[in-house]
C-alpha cells in the first residue's frame, strides 16, 4: 500500500485532430485534447471546475462517423477518433450559435465573444431589429453583486456552482420554459430575501458578466473599469484558518474584485462571503 492513493493508472489514447495524431490520458475530453494541441476552441458553458452541461453548443467539433456534431467539452477522447475542429460544418454551427446568442443577449462583457464573432463571420443583426431580445434592467438589490439578465445565456453554470457541485446552497435555479426560462431565486425575489449566502461562487463561474461584482458593475457604469490598468496578485485570506487563496484584482491601489485560482487545492476557485467581499477594511484609508 502506498501512503497516498495513486488512483487507477491511466493509459494514453491516440486520436487524430485535423489529421494530426494527438495522445491524451484516458478520460480526457476532446476539448482537453484540442487545448493540449494548442487549438483554440470557443467555450461558454464549459467550466474548468464544473461538470459539462452541454448547453451552449459553441464548442462543437466534427467526429468521423458521428451523424451530428459533438460538444468537445463533454465527449471523451476514444482511441482512433478522427476529429475535425475547423471544417465548414463546424464553423457554420458555431457561427449560428454566436448569431443566436448575440442577437438575443448582450455579449459585450463576455471575454472572447467579440473575437469569435469576427473569426466565424457571425452577423447577429441579420435577424433584423424585431429579433427577440432580453431587454431588462440590471437587478441591483444588494451591495455585493448584480444580476443583469440582459447578459444571461442560460448556461446553468451558476446553478451548478450554487447547487450540488460546490456550494450546496441551492439559492438559484432555472424557472420558466423556452424563451421565458430564466435563472431565479425562489419566487423570483430580491436576493436579500432569498437563501443566497453571498459566496459569489456563481459570479466566479459566470461566462458573460450577467453576474457581476457590484464594484465592477459600478465602475463599468462610470466608465472607470480598466483591466489593462489592473494588477492581479494571489495571496491568502485573512479570515479563518482554512487558508483560501485569494486573487486580488487591484486598480489604482483599490481592490476592485476578488477571485480564486480554479486549480487551487484548498478552494478550487470557491470562496465564502468574507473572503470574496470582506476586503474593504484595508482600504478604508480616511
Partner 1 sequence: MKEPRTDGRTGAGRTPRTDVPAGTGQTPRTDGRTGRRGRGRAPQPYTRLTHPLVRDARDEPFRRAGWDEALDRVARELARARGAFGMFSCARATNEMNYVAQKFARVVMGTNNVDSCNRTCHAPSVAGLSAAFGSGGGTSSYEEIEHTDVILMWGSNARFAHPIFFQHVLKGIRGGARMYAVDPRRTSTAEWAESWLGLDVGTDIPLAHAIGREIIHAGLVNEAFVARATSGFEEYRALVEPWTLSLAQKVTGVPARAIRELAHAYARAERAQLCWTLGITEHHNGTDNVRALINLSLLTGHVGRYGAGLQPLRGQNNVQGGGDMGAIPNRLPGFQDILDPVAREKFESAWGAPVEPHYGLNLTEMFEAMEEGTLRAVYCIGENPAQSEADSEQALRRLRALDFLVVQDIFLTLTAEQAHVVLPATAGWAETEGTTTNSERRVQRVRRAVVPPGEAREDIDILCDLAARLGHQWKYADAEAVWNELRSLSPDHHGMTYARLEEHQGIQWPCPSPDRLEPGFLHGRLWESDPGLRGRRAPFGIVRHDPPVDLTDDAYPIRLTTGRRLDSYNTGVQSGGFASPLRRGEYIELSPEDAERYGVVVGERVQVASRRGAVVAPVWVDPALRPGLAFMTMHFPDEVDTNQLTIEANCPIAGTAEFKASAIRIDKLPVATVVR
- Segment interacting with partner 1 (CB under 8 A) among 56-64, 66-74, 179-187, 228-236: 228-236
Query: In this structure, are residues 229 and 251 in contact, taking their beta carbons and an 8 Å threshold?
Result: yes
CA distances to 6, 25, 57, 203, 265 from 3, rounded to whole Å, are 9, 24, 42, 38, 19
Residue 239 within binding range of partner 1, rule CB under 8 A: yes
Residue 226 within binding range of partner 1, rule CB under 8 A: no
Among 80, 192, 226, 227, binds partner 1 (CB under 8 A): 192
Residue 40 within binding range of partner 1, rule CB under 8 A: no
φ, ψ dihedrals at 272, nearest 5° = -110, 180
Binding mask 158-177 for partner 1 (x = CB under 8 A): ------x-xxx---------
CA distances to 67, 167, 227, 237 from 272, rounded to whole Å, are 44, 9, 24, 10
For residue 137, give the C-alpha cell: 434592467
Burial of 217 by CB count in 10 Å (0-12 exposed, 13-18 middle, 19+ buried)? buried
Binding mask 116-145 for partner 1 (x = CB under 8 A): --------------------------xxx-
Residue 240 within binding range of partner 1, rule CB under 8 A: yes
Among 181, 197, 221, 229, binds partner 1 (CB under 8 A): 197
Residue 76 within binding range of partner 1, rule CB under 8 A: no
φ, ψ dihedrals at 69, nearest 5° = -65, 150
Residue 241 within binding range of partner 1, rule CB under 8 A: yes
Residue 150 within binding range of partner 1, rule CB under 8 A: no
Q: Which residues pair with 33 in a beta bridge?
A: none
Nearest distance from residue 250's CB to partner 1, in Å?
Answer: 5
Nearer CB in complex with partner 1: 28/271? 271
N-to-C CA span, the chain: 59
CA–CA separation, 124 vs 45, rounded Å? 19
Nearest distance from residue 264's CB to partner 1, in Å?
Answer: 6
Nearest distance from residue 213's CB to partner 1, in Å?
Answer: 12
Nearest distance from residue 242's CB to partner 1, in Å?
Answer: 5
Residue 186 within binding range of partner 1, rule CB under 8 A: no
Residue 285 within binding range of partner 1, rule CB under 8 A: yes
For the chain, count helices (H), then strands (E). Answer: 7, 12
CA–CA separation, 206 vs 47, rounded Å? 9
Query: In this structure, are residues 73 and 52 in contact, taking their beta carbons and an 8 Å threshold?
Result: yes
Nearest distance from residue 227's CB to partner 1, in Å?
Answer: 16
Residues binding partner 1 (CB under 8 A): 3-5, 142-144, 164, 166-168, 191-193, 195-199, 231, 233-246, 248, 250, 253-255, 261, 263-268, 270-275, 277-286
Amino acid at each position: 500500500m502506498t501512503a497516498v492513493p495513486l488512483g487507477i493508472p491511466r493509459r494514453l489514447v491516440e486520436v487524430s485532430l485535423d489529421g494530426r495524431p494527438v495522445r491524451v490520458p484516458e478520460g480526457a475530453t476532446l476539448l482537453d485534447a484540442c487545448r493540449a494541441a494548442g487549438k483554440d476552441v470557443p467555450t461558454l458553458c464549459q467550466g474548468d471546475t464544473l461538470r459539462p452541461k452541454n448547453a451552449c453548443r459553441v464548442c462543437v467539433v466534427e467526429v468521423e462517423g458521428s451523424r451530428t456534431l459533438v460538444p468537445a467539452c463533454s465527449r471523451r477522447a476514444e482511441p482512433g477518433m478522427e476529429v475535425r475542429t475547423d471544417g465548414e460544418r463546424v464553423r457554420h454551427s458555431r457561427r449560428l450559435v454566436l448569431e443566436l446568442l448575440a442577437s438575443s443577449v448582450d455579449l459585450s462583457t463576455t471575454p472572447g465573444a467579440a473575437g469569435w464573432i469576427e473569426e466565424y463571420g457571425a452577423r447577429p443583426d441579420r435577424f433584423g431589429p424585431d429579433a427577440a431580445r432580453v431587454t431588462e434592467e440590471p437587478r441591483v438589490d444588494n451591495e455585493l453583486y448584480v444580476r443583469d439578465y440582459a447578459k444571461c445565456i442560460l448556461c446553468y453554470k451558476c446553478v451548478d456552482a450554487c447547487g450540488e457541485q460546490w456550494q450546496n446552497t441551492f439559492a438559484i435555479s432555472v424557472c420558466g420554459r423556452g424563451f421565458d426560462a430564466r435563472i431565479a431565486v425562489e419566487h423570483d425575489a430580491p436576493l436579500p430575501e432569498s437563501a443566497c449566502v453571498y459566496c459569489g461562487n456563481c459570479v466566479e463561474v459566470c461566462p458573460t458578466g450577467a453576474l457581476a461584482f457590484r464594484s465592477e458593475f459600478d465602475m463599468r457604469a462610470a466608465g472607470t473599469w480598466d483591466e489593462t490598468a489592473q494588477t492581479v496578485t494571489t495571496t491568502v485570506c485573512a479570515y479563518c484558518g482554512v487558508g483560501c487563496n485569494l486573487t486580488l484584482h487591484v486598480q489604482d491601489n483599490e481592490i476592485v474584485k476578488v477571485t480564486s485560482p480554479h486549480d487551487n487545492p484548498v478552494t478550487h476557485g470557491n470562496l465564502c462571503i468574507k473572503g470574496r467581499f470582506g476586503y474593504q477594511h484595508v482600504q478604508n484609508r480616511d
